Structures are given as C-alpha cells and as structure tokens.
C-alpha cells in the first residue's frame, strides 16, 4: 500500500481478542501503516500474543483494567501524540480489531480524501449496500442501525448514513477536539465524536467490503438499553 506510506497510524482497541486477532494480516500492511494496539485489560491471551507478535511494525499500549472501546480508543489517540511516529503521520484513526473492515479499505479512504474531498478533517467508513459492494451484515443489525441513524438525525441533526462503522481516520488538527475529553457514552462514542466535531468537515466513505466477524461483544440486549440511555445523555449535553 504505497499510498498509505507514513501517512497513517491506526489505533486498534483489543479486548479479549486473542482468538480473532490476525497479526499476520496487520503485518502484511505494515509497510504503509503504523499500528498502535491498545490492550484494554484483556483477561485472555491478547497481551501475550501482542507482546510476542506485534513487534517491529506496531506499538502496544496496555491498560490495566478494562475501560471499554471508547476509552481505549481515546487513550490510544492521546498516547499517539507522545510517540515519535506522530510527527510523520497525516492521519490518525481507529480500526476494529476483527478487521470486519479489511485494511485494503484504508487505501480507498486516502484516495477519496486526496481526490474528492481534500478539505476533509475526518473520513468515516460507511456500510452502504450498493451494487458492487459486499457488505455481509445481519438484517437485524442493519435494521437496528437504520433506526438509530434516524434517531440521530432527528435528535441531533447529524446526517450520517452509518455512524458506527469501526473504521475512521482523522487529521491531526481535530484530534484534540475529538478525543481530549473522556466520552460520556460507552457504545455510541462515534456519535459523540461527530457532535464534538461540529464545524469540521466530516465525510463518509462507502466501504466496498465489510463482514460481520463472529465473536462480537457489542450487540447484546442489555447494551441496546445502555445505548438508548446514552442517546438521551448526548442530547442533554450537546444539543
Ligand atoms: N477496548 C475495548 N474494546 C472493545 C470492548 N468491546 C469491544 N471492543 C473492541 O471494539 C471493537 C469492536 O468490537 P466487536 O466486538 O467486533 O464489535 P461488533 O459488535 O462486531 O461491532 P461491529 O463490528 O461494528 O458490528 C473490537 O476492536 C473490540 O476489541 C471493550 O470492552 N473494550
Ligand atoms: Mg466486529
């Protein structure tokens, strides 16, 4: 991926990902991207795996206790600013550990920014069903996502098609605004980022491939209740 060379660092939050982390795949892209794996207090072998295999092409930040994806991503983004690689890169992003969005998509996102939206401050992967794309997602999750997007549009006036895709990159100038403060929402911090970045130029990039990878920890019924509570809290704080 020549186009991504030295341009991007991706924070990869990892919570009990020992069975899903495909380090070889990350290494395959290591010519172009620096990875910062954040081990979020995993109780499985994630820590050992990262220590042994994520060497040379990546860095590891280990959090002592589990703090959730939002905080793990935030800590990663803030830590990145203290790393020498920060001087070189143009974009910092986060990417789900299971590679549900394949790393090839990053190249497309960068080309999209360079060619069509050079002014973009952030580019968000978006799982849009269209001819030519292969988006393998359960109908239930698609439906839940449509309902939440409708809610976000109605309550907050944000126009995203897909706020939750775990593949997002940001220019360095917006990192402080997006990540300096702890998030008040646990699962919809992506929406909180959008609310924080009001006034910045945010664009969605339709990914060509996305696959539901087994072992998701997010979409359980009790989480949907927490998400609904977060929707209200965000409305109170930001609208
Ligand atoms: N840091 C942290 N990361 C988590 C936690 N739960 C999930 N993650 C990370 O969040 C990312 C997405 O988690 P998944 O379990 O794949 O979520 P999912 O339900 O499949 O979500 P989609 O892939 O967007 O449909 C992964 O990188 C996980 O390791 C958690 O408690 N803490
Ligand atoms: Mg996933």
* Average pLDDT, 10 consecutive residues per value, the chain (239 residues): 68 98 95 94 98 96 97 98 95 98 96 95 97 94 92 96 97 98 95 98 98 75 85 96
Q: Which of 60, 96, 210 to mutate to test the pocket of ligand 1 (most atoms within 8 A of CB)?
A: 96
Contact 211, 168 (CB under 8 A): no
Q: How many CA atoms lie within 13 A of 4 on its CB side?
A: 24
Which of ligand 1's atoms lies nearest the C-alpha of 166?
24
Q: Is the CB of 17 under 6 A from ligand 1?
A: yes
Between the CA of 101 and the centroid of ligand 1 the distance, in Å, is 12
Say what the pLDDT of residue 2 is: 39
Contact 122, 169 (CB under 8 A): yes
* 128 burial via Cβ count (<10 Å: 0-12, 13-18, 19+): middle
Instruction: Look at the chain and report how many structural domains it folds into.
Output: 1
What's the predicted TM-score (pTM) here? 0.94
Q: Is the CB of 96 under 6 A from ligand 1?
A: yes
Say what the pLDDT of residue 3 is: 43
Q: Is the CB of 164 under 6 A from ligand 1?
A: yes
Contact 38, 13 (CB under 8 A): yes
Q: Is the CB of 220 under 6 A from ligand 1?
A: no
| Angle at 83 (CA atoms; ends 76, 36), nearest 5 degrees | 40
Say what the pLDDT of residue 220 is: 64
Range of the domain at 41: 2-238
* CATH, residue 182: 3.90.550.10
């Amino acid at each position: 991926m020549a186009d991504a060379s030295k341009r991007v660092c991706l924070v990869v939050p990892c919570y009990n990902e020992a069975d899903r982390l495909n380090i070889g795949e990350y290494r395959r892209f290591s010519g172009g991207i620096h990875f910062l794996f954040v081990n979020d207090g995993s109780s499985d072998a994630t820590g050992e795996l990262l220590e042994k295999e994520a060497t040379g092409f990546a860095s590891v930040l280990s959090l002592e206790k589990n703090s959730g994806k939002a905080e793990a991503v935030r800590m990663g983004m803030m830590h990145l600013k203290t790393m020498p690689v920060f001087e070189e890169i143009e974009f910092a992003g986060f990417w789900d550990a299971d590679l549900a969005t394949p790393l090839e998509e990053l190249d497309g996102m960068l080309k999209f920014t360079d060619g069509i939206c050079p002014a973009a401050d952030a580019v968000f992967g978006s799982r849009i069903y269209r001819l030519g794309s292969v988006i393998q997602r359960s109908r239930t999750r698609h439906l839940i996502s449509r309902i939440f997007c409708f809610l976000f549009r109605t309550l907050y006036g944000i126009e995203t098609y897909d706020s939750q895709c775990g593949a997002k990159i940001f220019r360095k100038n917006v990192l402080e605004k997006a990540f300096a403060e702890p998030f008040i929402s646990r699962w919809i911090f992506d929406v909180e980022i959008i609310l924080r970045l009001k006034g910045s130029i945010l664009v969605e990039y339709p990914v060509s491939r996305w696959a539901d990878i087994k072992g998701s920890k997010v979409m359980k019924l009790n989480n949907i209740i927490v998400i609904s509570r977060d929707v209200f809290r965000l409305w109170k704080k930001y609208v």
